[in-house]
Structure 1
Amino acid sequence: MFEEEKQKLEKRKNVINQVEIPLDKLQMSVRNGFEKAKQEKTRKRMIAKRSILSIAMVAILFIAFVTSVNVSPAFASKVSAIPGLDRVVALIQNDKGLVAAVEHDIYQPVNVSQTEHGITVTLDGVIVDEKGMVIFYTVESKEKDLSELGYKYWRVKSNKRSPYEYSMEIRNSFYPLATEKGLKAFSSSHRIESRYKSSLPSEGHRLEIGIINGDKIENFKIPFSYEKINNLESKTFTVNKEVEIEGQIIELKFIVVDPTGMKLFLEAKPSNTKKFLYGAFNNIRLVDEKGREWSTHADSYYWEQNKFTVSVPDSFYFYSPKKLTINFGKVAAIDKDEAYLLIDTNLSKFIKQPKDSIFSDLKIENNQVSFVIDVDRNKEFVYFPKITNEREEEYTFKYDDSPYYPSTQYVTSSFTDLPDGKTKFEFQIPPNSKQVRLVLDYYPSWIEDENVKIEIDLQDK
């Protein structure tokens, strides 16, 4: 029976070989912590870092996956039996948690399409649990070059309030559906995380995608429902173990595991001399007693100053490991007394900045501050969420593509990539401010110690 399924997969592989796959995609990501202060280059860099493998190698990975000796009979049977699932294979083949979800009948096909002016969007299917939803979709066109089409918005809406509602609007930038000329089809996925358990109806949802087609916006609204699957309760493992990294104490409080992903809850001691930066724990790896590995998201986030919630998009929900080693790798951190810039706007000079500074060429003209950051933002990133003046009045930096909240005080700002690989940052001086303090939340400062780890016996949990 397994050989028969593999033969069917081989036939599907030949069909896939005839479909061109883009080398990049715009996978919109949920921003739980700094949503109101994001700007287009932040999103562009982090999205690319997180998603390029699953899309750039879709066709190759599909071929490798269906011909691999590691393909389980259960998974091969599912791919053969479920229409449209072959398009999903390459998107999940490196995600052990989602592969297991398919094997355990959690993937739910939708296969609903809408066509507007020669462009077809198909919602292939969803994987849903109490804490997350993964949506798989395909865009194709026989008439259009996908590199000439762009995203305008990406939303999930519901007739009733839902923990999975999500909206990402693109205001002043053009994000192409594909970066390579001549592409006609690609499949993609998008993961939405919920902070709380869903007990709401599973019907009445819709996927909304706005696609820029010349001077028009093609609006796709695809309704979908999903069946609630019982016995998918979150698994919580209480840990309460501390680890020391160059004198800094971090405690792993607990791990929450769901089929669509996991979360690690960490707390840094207030007495630490270093500030852990946004994305501080992007390099955490979880390894079980069999050598199976799960890696953290490319964008960890924190709720409060010393409390971090780190996303792991993969999951060991269906694998039931007995022991787990948490390897921290390098951690983004900076001395607390260096985690900001202080600028005198009257003297046009830096009063305070980190040692080995990457900031230079400070200028102030027409109530506008500019300086150069010596960093290639395609590799590293510096980001300022807010600014305060000498009266402790706080303002949020408003970037071109960040959302606007009426109750927030803003100052306009922008990043510009320079020809020499450096970056120029500009911002408006808040009213009547003689000194301004820029908080550093993203900065290329690392603690590197490959030996830092926590051992957990899950059989005791």
Structure 2
Amino acid sequence: MHDKDDELEIWKKTLENREIPEVDLDNAIHRGVLQARRQYPLKKEKRFKRPLIAGLAVAVMCLLFVTTIRSSPAFADAVSAFPGMKKIVALIQDDQGLKSAIKNKHFQKIGVSDETSGVQITLDGVIPSSQNLVLFYTITYKKNHRSDFLQNIWIRGANGEELGLASVWQIPSEDYETANTSTNAISVDFNEPISKKEAVLEFDFIGGYGEKETIQLPFTINVDDVPNYTYAVNQKVTIDEQSLLVRQVTINPVITSVEIEYDPNNSKEIFGIEHLSIKGKWGRKWKPLKNGLTSSSTDDFPNRVTYYLQSSYFENNKKLKLEIGKVMALDKQETELVIDTESEKIVKQPKDKRFSNVKVRGGELNIDFEGESDFYNYPVSINFMDSQNEERQFEYWSGHPNGEEKATLMMKLPDSPIKNPITLKINGYPNYLEQDSPAIIELK
């Protein structure tokens, strides 16, 4: 017999594959009706599905909360557990792993509040695991304080230590225009595994007159009785003569982590896996995360990447299969973009020449890029090398393909003199390995 949540799958499919355009940060903060995501770089991370631009990466997300959630009695009971849960469910409607956590009552109600002169915040609850945490909070701006600026969000231990890499995503509440209220979520990737921990969620605000105010919300993370499921795979996969090793898959109540190592002897540079999923009974799939950290790697193991998928923790974890398809890659000899910023010319680029029309105006480097309808990666790195092999960094960068055929990349050059030409590392490119069907690995 099929799971009672099958009807939810139909609902979910109708909301998939939506275009999410980027918009201006200041308007997002002041209007309070936009989704936002911020990565706090407490450890090295790269190769994001939707890479960051300077400051917060902001996207509009208009949501529809459909009454078909009532088709699952267990889910309906969880939703009615306390006021405000419907907004939380609307926030995570695209993540069936987090929805399963709520359905299976793996949601810890917190309810602690604090406020400044202009803002009140309530930490509604959390979905915890030993390696990750998702927090849900409600923020209400008081009358005449909608211009208060949210400067930073921190996740700290009771002793003030930072606990990990945090990603913030926000969504408008249905009553924002009248009540100045929005429901939001924060996902945290811990620096080290946690079983029980006293923690503090901290918000730093800048008021309308420049004064700084802080809100601190203490809570307890407790996952003593929630073990992870780990599959030691260690299986090699070859696609279009390129090799990769699937090292292990770890499933916890928040996310699924898939650790993959690319063979350094490959002739192509693999930028990422566009189609990666866990497949269960009746064809159900758990796909890559759409919010928060989507992949990470470290300098210690540059060829090893961990990808993050939705969690199948509360489903039957038997007979699961890992599917690998549409691998983004480029010949290693073509992974550099070399530009002379003085003559505004491209010295070197991949052979299909997607980069063009270099312009330098007011210290800002603009480059046109020809993308594709399903390409979202920012194609070049924020670091570059000058002609003397000195590593430099752009002051900021913005504008990316975002699923459009054409885009203009904008990068602010350093104020100090640059020795031309400069070399930018290509981090993503709409070129893919050829394969007849996805590679499939059974998780045992």
Residue matched to 1:156: 155
The structure 2 residue matched to 1:262, chosen from 249, 256, 267, is: 256
One-letter amino acid of the structure 2 residue matched with residue 333 of structure 1: A
The alpha carbon displacement at 1:436 in A equals 2.4
**2:33 and 2:122 mapped to 1: Cα distance?**
20
Residue pair 1:211, 1:218 contacting (<8 A) in 2 also:
yes
Residue matched to 2:5: none
Residue pair 2:335, 2:426 contacting (<8 A) in 1 also:
yes
Q: Scaled by the length of structure 1, what TM-score is found?
A: 0.73
Residues 110-129 of structure 1 show CA distances to partners (whole Å, capped at 9, x for unaligned) of: 11222334532111011222
**SS of equivalent residue, structure 1 residue 87:** helix
Residue pair 2:399, 2:407 contacting (<8 A) in 1 also:
no
Residue pair 2:95, 2:289 contacting (<8 A) in 1 also:
no
1:24-423 equivalences in 2 (<5 Å): 24-29=34-39, 32-34=43-45, 41=53, 44-45=56-57, 48=59, 56-57=62-63, 60-61=64-65, 63-65=67-69, 67=70, 69=71, 71-73=72-74, 75-82=75-82, 84-141=84-141, 143=143, 150-160=149-159, 164-165=163-164, 182=177, 184-199=180-195, 202-203=197-198, 205-216=199-210, 219-226=213-220, 228-277=222-271, 280-298=272-290, 299-303=294-298, 304-312=301-309, 314-344=310-340, 349-362=345-358, 370-375=365-370, 380=376, 381-399=378-396, 414-415=397-398, 421-423=407-409
**SS of equivalent residue, structure 2 residue 308:** strand
Deviates more, 1:115-124 or 1:189-198: 115-124
One-letter amino acid of the structure 2 residue matched with residue 295 of structure 1: K
One-letter amino acid of the structure 2 residue matched with residue 111 of structure 1: G
Q: Measured at CA, do residues 91 and 398 of structure 1 come closer, stay the same or move farther in structure 2, by a change above 3 Å?
A: same
**2:434 and 2:174 mapped to 1: Cα distance?**
35
The alpha carbon displacement at 1:102 in A equals 2.9
The alpha carbon displacement at 1:271 in A equals 1.7
Gaps of 5+ in 2: 1-30
The alpha carbon displacement at 1:385 in A equals 3.0
**1:94 and 1:79 mapped to 2: Cα distance?**
16
Residue pair 2:371, 2:430 contacting (<8 A) in 1 also:
no
**SS of equivalent residue, structure 2 residue 89:** helix
Q: Scaled by the length of structure 2, what TM-score is found?
A: 0.76
Q: Measured at CA, do residues 422 and 394 of structure 1 come closer, stay the same or move farther in structure 2, by a change above 3 Å?
A: closer
Q: Percent identity?
A: 23
The alpha carbon displacement at 1:287 in A equals 1.1
**1:179 and 1:105 mapped to 2: Cα distance?**
25
Q: Measured at CA, do residues 217 and 250 of structure 1 come closer, stay the same or move farther in structure 2, by a change above 3 Å?
A: farther
**2:288 and 2:90 mapped to 1: Cα distance?**
20
Residue pair 2:33, 2:176 contacting (<8 A) in 1 also:
no
Q: Measured at CA, do residues 427 and 270 of structure 1 come closer, stay the same or move farther in structure 2, by a change above 3 Å?
A: same
Residue matched to 1:411: none
Q: Measured at CA, do residues 444 and 145 of structure 1 come closer, stay the same or move farther in structure 2, by a change above 3 Å?
A: farther
**SS of equivalent residue, structure 1 residue 337:** helix
**1:382 and 1:42 mapped to 2: Cα distance?**
15
Q: Which structure has greater helix proportion? A: 1
Gaps of 5+ in 1: 1-20, 170-174, 400-413
